[in-house]
Chains A and B, each alone.
Chain A
Amino acid sequence: MAEVLVYVDHVDGAVRKPTLELLTLARRLGEPVAVALGAGAENTASALAEHGAAKVLTHDAPEYADYLVVPKVDALQAAYEQVSPAAVLVPSSAEGKEIAARLAVRIGSGIITDAVDLEAGDEGPVATQSAFAASFTTKSRVSKGTPVITVKPNSAAVEAAPAAGAVEALNVSFSDKATGTKVTGRTPRESTGRPELTEAAIVVSGGRGVNGAENFAIIEALADSLGAAVGASRAAVDAGWYPHTNQVGQTGKSVSPQLYIASGISGAIQHRAGMQTSKTIVAINKDSEAPIFDLVDYGVVGDLFDVVPQLTEEVKARKG
């Protein structure tokens, strides 16, 4: 059976959910072989084995943390040369896309980014992507070389599929380009205790209508009652009310949760680009003409300062 290389996104050995989703997709194409790099790489093995990894190739070196991107490209290339896979799958994070792109050039392959689904085809994997602010869906494949494909979070269900997950040390020799960009400082982002925006099943977002940084507390309260991530429109971020890392839209994150709740967001194309593929969409807005209402499964025309707290209380009451 053909092997499929899966690049593992993990934090000190804790495998992030999009990688487990990748394993689900990889199993449609062949036998998953995972590549885990950096501190804690070996600790990823049990979670990866549980979700279908036949092998886990690991390597740790200070270069992964001390230099940007290239050491990881060198390692993934080493894994590629060792395994000769039928495809290489990488999570669609900012870094994941950069690693995948550089690998593609090195191995003479085409690349598809931000796939939202993947299936086996006669001429190789067929990737589904969203285009033009998700107003189109395309199906594409890589036509030269070994397909390198990055996949967005929430594109597949995490499935238990126990496999051997045999850990093997990967042999990596870094290229002279590996140390080109030095990471001279790193400030970890403070944890909010909420789910990661792109991985969350429910996202609650606030926009211009929230009208001030201090008012985001009511958006956060609703999010916490639902166990949701918090998002913000570009207007709210540009106004300095909420961090850019939480921005949903064309120049921020693109999310595809089970439920998206937009509060005080008009729904400009810039925002729709980042949330239009959500399964269920709900909006609260004062303006009944707001374009967001064209997208919703359920909309409330009203003042978010009345509706959102009432909803939060009701959710809490129902959850007991």
Chain B
Amino acid sequence: MSLRIVVTVKYVPDATGDRHFADDLTVDRDDVDGLLSELDEYAVEQALQIAENADDAEVTVLTVGPEDAKDALRKALSMGADKAIHVEDDDLHGTDAIGTSLVLAKAIEKAGYDLVVSGMASTDGTAGVVPALLAERLGVPQVTLLSEVSVEDGVVTGRRDGDTASEQLQAQLPAVVSVTDQSGEARYPSFKGIMAAKKKPVESWDLSDLEIDADEVGLEGAWTKVETATERPARTAGTIVKDEGEGGKQLAEFLAGQKFI
């Protein structure tokens, strides 16, 4: 029986661009180029490695996002994923993490899965809670923040490096896994991969396909409300000195003046 792997990915504004909020205080997606969230590349990579080590496996990439989010799916397909699912619906605009996890969980169930692989966080929202939310909603084990992961005989094992300890984890499939940027460099799509990706199937689903009411998601249905977003004032220019042999002492003088010494 084939191992069905679903990788959740997010299309995010480029972190090196001038990111800001739109008038409705959602993330502005028009003025900054979007791309597959860098941290999700690690998830795609680990999913592909797990699939390569299995007798028979299929990797599906799943995203929830606007039309342009297809770019993120295309990138994952060009890395080697087999097929893609794009959940797109105008009513999804402004959905928060709780709502997103609802949509993803319904889509994962509809797609069918043995293993869900996610990145550790998105590079725009950065909360890092979606994998735990998916495990809760799907009612399956959560094996998260792994810097090493493997799957054998229906069991997932991995290493979670925490602040106070490094833990070895183990759970039966089906399960939700998330991997960190320490899990291994993500592969670059080859030319062949890029060409092949153009022919791979991308399914589009909307909220009615997932039997989700519009009022459960979107900005109006969100469980949290952003009331204000203010640009942080630029830091006032500080003193910059050139070291001419006394740089360390000058710095110490500054720190003493600020009562740090």
Residues 272 to 319 of chain A near chain B (Cβ within 8 Å): 273, 276, 280-282, 284, 288, 293-303, 306-315, 318-319
Least Cβ distance of B210 to chain A in Å?
17
B2-10, B84-92, B190-198, B239-247 - interface stretch: B239-247
CB neighbours (8 Å) of B186 from chain A are none
Least Cβ distance of B99 to chain A in Å?
9
What is the chain B residue whose CB lies nearest that of A175?
B139
B50-58, B68-76, B110-118, B158-166 - interface stretch: B158-166
Bound CA–CA A113/B132 (angstroms): 13
What is the chain A residue whose CB lies nearest that of B241?
A300
CB neighbours (8 Å) of A302 from chain B are 242-243, 247
Q: Are A181 and B170 in contact (CB under 8 A)?
A: yes
Decide yes or no: A299 and B239 within 8 Å by CB, A101-B97, A226-B260 being known contacts.
Answer: yes
Is A105 engaged at the interface, CB distance under 8 Å to the other chain?
yes
Least Cβ distance of A177 to chain B in Å?
6
Is B205 engaged at the interface, CB distance under 8 Å to the other chain?
no
Is B231 engaged at the interface, CB distance under 8 Å to the other chain?
yes
Most chain A CB atoms below 10 A, which of B131, B136, B222? B136
Bound CA–CA A202/B258 (angstroms): 13
CB neighbours (8 Å) of A309 from chain B are 248
Is B171 engaged at the interface, CB distance under 8 Å to the other chain?
yes
Q: Helix, strand, loop or mixed for chain B's interface?
A: mixed
Q: Are A180 and B171 in contact (CB under 8 A)?
A: yes
Q: Are B144 and A98 in contact (CB under 8 A)?
A: yes
Decide yes or no: A202 and B260 within 8 Å by CB, A93-B163, A187-B165 being known contacts.
Answer: yes
Bound CA–CA A98/B134 (angstroms): 11
Q: Convert B122-148 into 0s and 1s, putting 1 for each residue whose CB lies closer than 8 angstroms to a CB of A.
A: 011011110111011101111111010
CB neighbours (8 Å) of A100 from chain B are 129
Residues 134 to 184 of chain A near chain B (Cβ within 8 Å): 134-145, 177, 180-184
Q: Are A68 and B143 in contact (CB under 8 A)?
A: yes
Q: Are B171 and A313 in contact (CB under 8 A)?
A: no
Q: Are B167 and A282 in contact (CB under 8 A)?
A: no
Q: Are B260 and A182 in contact (CB under 8 A)?
A: no
Decide yes or no: A310 and B261 within 8 Å by CB, A126-B227, A143-B225, A270-B15 being known contacts.
Answer: no
Bound CA–CA A301/B15 (angstroms): 27
Q: Are B127 and A183 in contact (CB under 8 A)?
A: no
Q: Are B222 and A181 in contact (CB under 8 A)?
A: no
Q: Are B98 and A181 in contact (CB under 8 A)?
A: no
A contact set with B: CB distance below 8 Å: 11, 68-70, 73, 93-95, 97-98, 100-102, 104-106, 109-114, 126, 130-145, 177, 180-189, 196, 202, 226, 244-245, 250-251, 258-259, 269-270, 273, 276, 280-282, 284, 288, 293-303, 306-315, 318-319
B contact set with A: CB distance below 8 Å: 15-16, 19-21, 25, 39, 96-98, 101, 120, 123-124, 126-129, 131-133, 135-137, 139-145, 147, 157, 160-172, 175, 180-182, 222-232, 234-235, 238-243, 245-252, 254-256, 258, 260-261
Task: A132-B15, A183-B169, A259-B260 given; name 14 further pairs at CB < 8 Å.
Answer: A68-B167, A94-B128, A102-B135, A144-B223, A181-B170, A184-B157, A184-B170, A186-B165, A188-B165, A226-B260, A269-B15, A284-B247, A297-B239, A318-B256
